[in-house]
């Protein structure tokens, strides 16, 4: 029986068979709840009619379309007058020329993205017939669907799709491999590279390439391997040189992909950045850096650049497996230098040159505020001036070793607690000794006033005060 009126029966004559087929092919099958098929595995649905209408009797997964049923295919489906649908969505990679081949009894249709590519829709009894079509599949993900109906007799159906791989036909380069990753063995000092399966269906082999980081020249490590993991025979004797690896795919037509994204292996993990803060309250510096997760990482060594026997040297503060370090430091108003080294589980440690390097990511130059006050108090002398008291502060420290930048003279009424500033200024560095003078207005009210002098540095630290000098201006 040939169902000439199938389209009209399903649509009330409103849609043509071609339009109906497109609508059916554009949607996924109505599947039973909870049925999930693996990657590139067909979902299969059985219908107890040849119009694929209503709820499927059964939904399952099928690795390939290839069946021969002499009677009912599953419980609940009749031996004659049933339909079976296969549906899969898969990534075709870069696409290219393909052949679709089908063999079936009775009715079979093959769709690509809802467009019918093969149409064999006639009652053949128990005799199967075949058809193949050559077509180009665009790159990316696409939907395949096969509809088969059995009107009577044996139900046979087989479908396959495969790339055409001759060089004359296939000019499309495969996609570059993805998921390239590296592992480094500190015992053998060799690198193993692995990568994800390619989405292409016609990959013949892969090639692996290496170059030192910063170099522009690739060296071929493996010219043609069919596995997706390869151990570089290079022994990294220095154990500090980082290398970049890339993988390329070659298809059966001889087309070679672009290189994968570079995968960098660092036999010796690095500290990519180092930051730090200084806490005035605790007088401690806290260092922080990203935590290394490489399997061959072992520990960090934190160093400080300190004055040792008259010259600066990198002094180890300790080791840690964490990514923070806190250490006390004397505030001095200058930069303090820190460095963090890495040691791998083979015992190799980051180079540790004696010099400073302002551009090294694992080195930090942090300014420590000056918290050290000038050591000595100045002298204070009082005299008279028009309308008040002349106060003069003097410091006798030789100019080359002075640790202050100015003078402060303060006054308060005798018996009170609060001092007020009457002078806060620098001094003339050309004069020796260093002095500063002010004519402080003071009322002639017979009250006693106390004066004191201090030196100050650029950070605002104040020296001890001079002896307090008291003066009283008689009532005029």
142-162 pLDDT per residue, tens: 999 999 999 999 999 999 999
C-alpha 434/C-alpha 278 separation (Å) is: 34
Does position 310 have pLDDT exceeding 60, yes or no? yes
Task: Report DSSP state, residue 386.
Answer: T
Averaged pLDDT score across all residues of the chain: 91
Per-residue model confidence (pLDDT) at position 429: 87
Calculate mean pLDDT across residues 292-296: 94
Does position 454 have pLDDT exceeding 70, yes or no? yes
Does position 49 have pLDDT exceeding 80, yes or no? yes
Per-residue model confidence (pLDDT) at position 445: 86
Per-residue model confidence (pLDDT) at position 117: 98
DSSP 47-60: ESSSS--SS-SEEE
**What letters, b where the CB count within 10 A reaches 16 and e where it falls short, cover 35-63?**
eebeeeebbbbbbbebbbeeebbbbeeee
Q: Indicate the pLDDT class of residue 4, thresholds 50, 70 and 90.
A: very low
Per-residue model confidence (pLDDT) at position 431: 87
Contact predicate 158/104, CB 8 Å: yes
Q: Indicate the pLDDT class of residue 444, thresholds 50, 70 and 90.
A: confident
Per-residue model confidence (pLDDT) at position 319: 98
* Token output for 375: 């050591």
Looking at 9-18, 246-255, 431-440, which range is the least confident one? 9-18
* Token output for 193: 């590279």
Per-residue model confidence (pLDDT) at position 476: 64
3-class secondary structure, 172:
coil
Of residues 266 and 13, more confidence is placed in 266
Looking at 26-30, 85-89, 309-313, which range is the least confident one? 26-30
Strand order in the sheet with 107-112: 58-62, 42-47, 82-91, 141-150, 107-112, 115-121
Does position 206 have pLDDT exceeding 90, yes or no? yes
Does position 98 have pLDDT exceeding 50, yes or no? yes
Per-residue model confidence (pLDDT) at position 13: 37
Strand 190-194 and strand 42-47: pairing? Answer: unpaired
Chain centroid to CA 438: how far? 63
Nearest to 360, CA basis, from 337, 377, 380: 337
3-class secondary structure, 97:
strand
Please, how many CA atoms are within 13 Å of residue 253, restricted to the half-sphere of its CB? 20
Per-residue model confidence (pLDDT) at position 20: 41
387-434 pLDDT per residue, tens: 899 999 999 999 888 989 999 999 999 999 999 999 999 999 888 999
Does position 33 have pLDDT exceeding 80, yes or no? no
Q: Indicate the pLDDT class of residue 18, thresholds 50, 70 and 90.
A: very low
Question: What structural domains does the chain harbor?
Answer: 6-163 (2.60.120.260), 181-265 (2.60.40.10), 275-367 (2.60.40.10), 379-472 (2.60.40.10)
C-alpha 241/C-alpha 237 separation (Å) is: 9
C-alpha 160/C-alpha 201 separation (Å) is: 13
Does position 22 have pLDDT exceeding 70, yes or no? no
56-82 pLDDT per residue, tens: 999 999 999 999 999 999 999 999 999
Q: Indicate the pLDDT class of residue 343, thresholds 50, 70 and 90.
A: very high
C-alpha 401/C-alpha 393 separation (Å) is: 18
Per-residue model confidence (pLDDT) at position 387: 86
Q: Which positions ≥6 away from 12 have C-beta within 8 Å?
A: none
Q: Residue 433: is the preceding peptide bond cis (ω within 30°)?
A: yes
224-262 pLDDT per residue, tens: 999 999 999 999 988 899 999 999 999 999 999 999 999
């Amino acid at each position: 029986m040939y169902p000439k009126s199938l389209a009209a029966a399903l649509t009330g004559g409103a849609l043509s068979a071609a339009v109906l087929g497109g609508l059916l092919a554009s949607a996924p099958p109505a599947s039973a709840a909870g049925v999930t098929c693996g990657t590139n595995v067909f979902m299969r649905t059985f219908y107890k009619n040849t119009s694929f209408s209503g709820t499927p009797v059964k939904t399952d997964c099928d690795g390939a379309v290839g069946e021969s049923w002499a009677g009912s295919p599953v419980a609940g489906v009749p031996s004659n007058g049933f339909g079976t649908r296969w549906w899969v969505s898969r990534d075709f990679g870069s696409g290219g020329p393909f052949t679709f081949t089908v063999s079936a009894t009775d009715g079979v249709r093959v769709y690509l993205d809802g467009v019918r590519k093969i149409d064999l829709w006639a009652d053949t009894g128990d005799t199967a017939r075949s058809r193949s079509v050559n077509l180009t599949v665009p790159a990316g993900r696409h939907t395949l669907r096969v509809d088969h109906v059995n009107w009577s007799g044996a139900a046979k159906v087989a479908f396959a799709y495969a790339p055409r791989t001759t060089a004359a036909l296939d000019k499309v380069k495969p996609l570059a491999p993805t998921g390239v990753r590296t592992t480094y063995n500190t015992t053998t000092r060799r690198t193993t590279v692995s990568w994800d399966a390619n989405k292409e269906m016609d990959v013949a082999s892969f090639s692996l390439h290496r170059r030192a980081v910063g170099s522009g020249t690739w060296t071929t490590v493996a010219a043609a391997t069919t596995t997706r993991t390869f151990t570089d025979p290079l022994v990294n004797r220095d154990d500090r040189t980082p290398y970049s690896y890339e993988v390329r795919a070659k298809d059966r037509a001889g087309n070679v992909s672009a290189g994968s994204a570079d995968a960098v292996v660092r036999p010796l993990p690095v500290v990519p950045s180092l930051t730090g803060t200084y806490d005035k309250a605790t007088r401690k510096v806290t260092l922080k850096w990203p935590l290394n997760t490489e399997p061959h990482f072992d520990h960090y060594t934190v160093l400080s650049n300190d004055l040792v026997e008259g010259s600066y040297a990198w002094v180890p503060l300790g080791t840690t497996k964490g990514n923070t370090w806190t250490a006390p430091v004397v505030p001095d108003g200058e930069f303090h230098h820190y460095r963090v080294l890495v040691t791998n589980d083979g015992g190799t440690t980051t180079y540790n040159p004696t010099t400073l390097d302002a551009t090294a990511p694992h080195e930090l130059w942090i300014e420590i505020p000056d918290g050290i006050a000038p050591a000595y108090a100045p002298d204070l002398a009082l005299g008279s001036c028009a309308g008040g008291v002349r106060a003069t502060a003097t410091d006798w420290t030789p100019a080359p070793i002075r640790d202050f930048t100015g003078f402060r003279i303060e006054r308060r009424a005798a018996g009170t607690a609060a001092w007020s500033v009457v002078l806060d200024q620098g001094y003339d560095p050309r004069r020796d000794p260093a002095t500063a003078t002010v004519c402080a207005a003071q009322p002639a009210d017979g009250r006693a006033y106390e004066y004191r002098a201090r030196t100050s540095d650029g950070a605002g630290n104040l020296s001890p005060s001079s002896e307090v000098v008291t003066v009283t201006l008689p009532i005029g």
